[in-house]
Structure 1
Amino acid sequence: MNALSHPRTDLTDATGTVALEAVLKRAVAAVRTAGEHLRARYDVAARPGDLEEIVRAIHANDDAIQAIVEQPLLDARPGSRWAADELAGGLLPEGEWWVVDTAEGNINHIHGMGEWAVTATLVCDNVPVLTVVHLPLTGDTYTALRGRGALLNGTPLRSSAKTELRAALVGTGQAKPGEEEAALRRMGATVTAMLLNALVVRVSVPATMQLVHVASGGMDAFWQFSDVRSGLLPGALLVSEAGGTVTDTRGEPWTLASADFLASAPGLHAQVVDVLTDHA
């Protein structure tokens, strides 16, 4: 079953949709407020000197922003729960959960670089039903509501119409530090394969900052050998609602139980799967 295609029935009827629209509005407000606080903590001259300082800065950002955004999101959907571990993967227990990245691209933020965001996704019985991605430096806000499309600042998004991989801009990246050597070697092998088959390959973090481009058609595909929920759920829903294709790297339906991830323009999907499965 494709987790992006089968939300709970009571969330797809008229009453459920109206209720989720109200939740989305409150989630946007909460995430934007959190984003402004994260922006206030941003310093283009920041240069952490060692691993201890990096880890301390990352935790400081996460703690500060969670304190601002957690309760407003829980209040927006009574009965929902908070998925505490941002780096966790796999299925969640049944029910409604907020999967939030308080500083998506935290490593960029603490080094004075610009690719970072605040994200929040509401997951119902392991199905993402709404998401918000806010980029404080630009003021841009990406949103998606299950079955209602994906938007950038209120304007509908549409995935790429490309059909030739040799004309495609594709990307991947690490999901987190300290990944297993096998996963890193697999990533390296597929980067090489894509360099030989696609037009240009980007390797960068975080995942969400590439996936918003796949949703908007600026990029054509993104893959990752990971199951980190917080980095994949926002982009998965945005891409799906923008008309893109979301699966695992073998072309099977993607769910939170999947070991890896692929989002692409529909006209390129089969070609990307072929390259990834041949060289992984």
Structure 2
Amino acid sequence: MSEPIRTAETAAPTDAVPTGTAPGADLLARTADAVRAAGAVLRERFGDVVPHRTRAELMDALAANDAAVLEVLRPALARLRPDARFVADELAGGALPPGEWWVVDPAEGNVNHLHALPDWAVTATLVRDNRPVLTAVHLPLTGETYTALTGAGAHLDGRPLKVSRTTDLGLSLVATSQARPDEDEEVVRRTGSAITAMLLDALVVRTSVPATLHLLNVAAGRIDAFWQFAGARADLLPGALLVTEAGGQVSDAEGRPWTPESDSFLAAAPGVHAPAVTTLSR
């Protein structure tokens, strides 16, 4: 079983990235350069709604976006950490084997991209023994790049990020996301019940994909809490590091330590974490 994600208070020091190649901050900067270069490819492919009449045509269009981005992103990351293995299945969940892995989502929010909606990104997260070490998330349409390094904080284009100071769930903007298409019926019903509970307890509930963009907003203090049932590594690991490094709390929906094997996820400002757990645990 993998170990829980560390909070900001117990994070590893900034030299957590092993020596032998680039130091932590330099490696993060180069990772950000890689996702920006890959994001330019995805930006060039953005335009009108991509027509599809069948599920197979939709899947082909999604795969074409992924392949175009990975052609740039994968070799760039391999040059940075030649010994790190690579996983680009954005729907895969659970723990990874020990060691270093690049967990990437070449087109986070890919379905939005194909529908000419603006909510999509390119992400790359270096994970060691199932703990995120650093992450870079690039939004090609705005040019923004969000980064986090264990023990060194979370940033938007170099500016520090801090979670919300709110202490009242009743005044909070909260969000959730659909983990994957064709989700298990039990998860779908659990999600619906949680949305209903949050509609009663929170001020406003946002529901949209992808998860990473909600988590960026939690880290930046724009959204007070985000939760999701089930989930994929590529959805949650970047945001988990960004939120904890911005001073937030990450757990499962019942308040227990979160790992990639958990069946739920909650990221929140400290002042509303406990009330959110209470709401989601009904």
> Is contact 1:7-1:129 (8 Å) kept?
no
Instruction: Kindly report which structure 2 residues correspond to 1:1-280, keeping only aligned pairs within 5 A, or say none.
Output: 1-5=3-7, 11-12=15-16, 19-278=23-282
Structure 1 segments unaligned to the other structure (5+ residues): none
What is the alpha-carbon distance in structure 2 between the residues aligned to residue 178 and residue 112 of structure 1?
A: 22
Q: Equivalents in 2 of 1:72, 1:116: separation in Å? A: 21
Alpha-carbon distance between aligned partners in 1 of 2:39 and 2:195, rounded to the nearest angstrom:
32
Deviation at 1:173, TM superposition (A): 1.4
- Letter paired with 1:3: I
Task: Extract structure 1 runs of 4+ deviating beyond 3 A.
Answer: 5-18, 44-50
Distance in 1 separating the partners of 2:213 and 2:99: 28
- Once residues 140 and 9 of structure 1 are traced to their aligned partners in structure 2, the CA distance between those partners, rounded to angstroms, is 26
Instruction: Give the TM-score of the pair, scaled to structure 1.
Output: 0.94
Letter in 2 for 1:88: A
TM-score, normalization by structure 2: 0.94
**Seq. identity, %:** 53
Q: 1:191 to 1:17 in 2, by over 3 A?
A: farther
C-alpha distance in structure 1 between counterparts of 2:88 and 2:40, whole Å: 22
Cα distance in 1 for partners of 2:97, 2:22 equals: 25
Secondary structure of 1:78's aligned partner: coil
**How far does the alpha carbon of each residue in 1:132-190 deviate from its partner, in whole angstroms, 9 at most, with x for none?**
00000000000000000000011000000000011000010111101100000000000
Query: Secondary structure of 1:24's partner?
Result: helix
> SS at the partner of 1:70?
helix
Q: CA deviation at 1:15?
A: 5.8
Q: Which amino acid aligns with 1:252?
A: R
Q: Which amino acid aligns with 1:236?
A: A
Amino acid in the other structure paired with 2:275? Q
Q: What are the superposed Cα offsets for residues 8-57 of structure 1, whole Å, 9 maximum, x if unpaired?
A: 78943896997121211111111000000000000134443432321111
More divergent stretch after superposition (137-146 vs 63-72):
63-72
- The superposition leaves residues 240-263 of structure 1 with CA deviations (integer Å, 9 ceiling, x where unpaired) of 000000001010111122111000
Q: CA RMSD in A?
A: 2.0
Q: Secondary structure at the match of 1:120?
A: strand
Q: Structure 1, residues 182-226: CA drift from partner, whole Å, max 9, x if none?
A: 000000000000001100000100000111000000000000001
- Segments of structure 2 that go 5 or more residues without pairing to the other structure are none
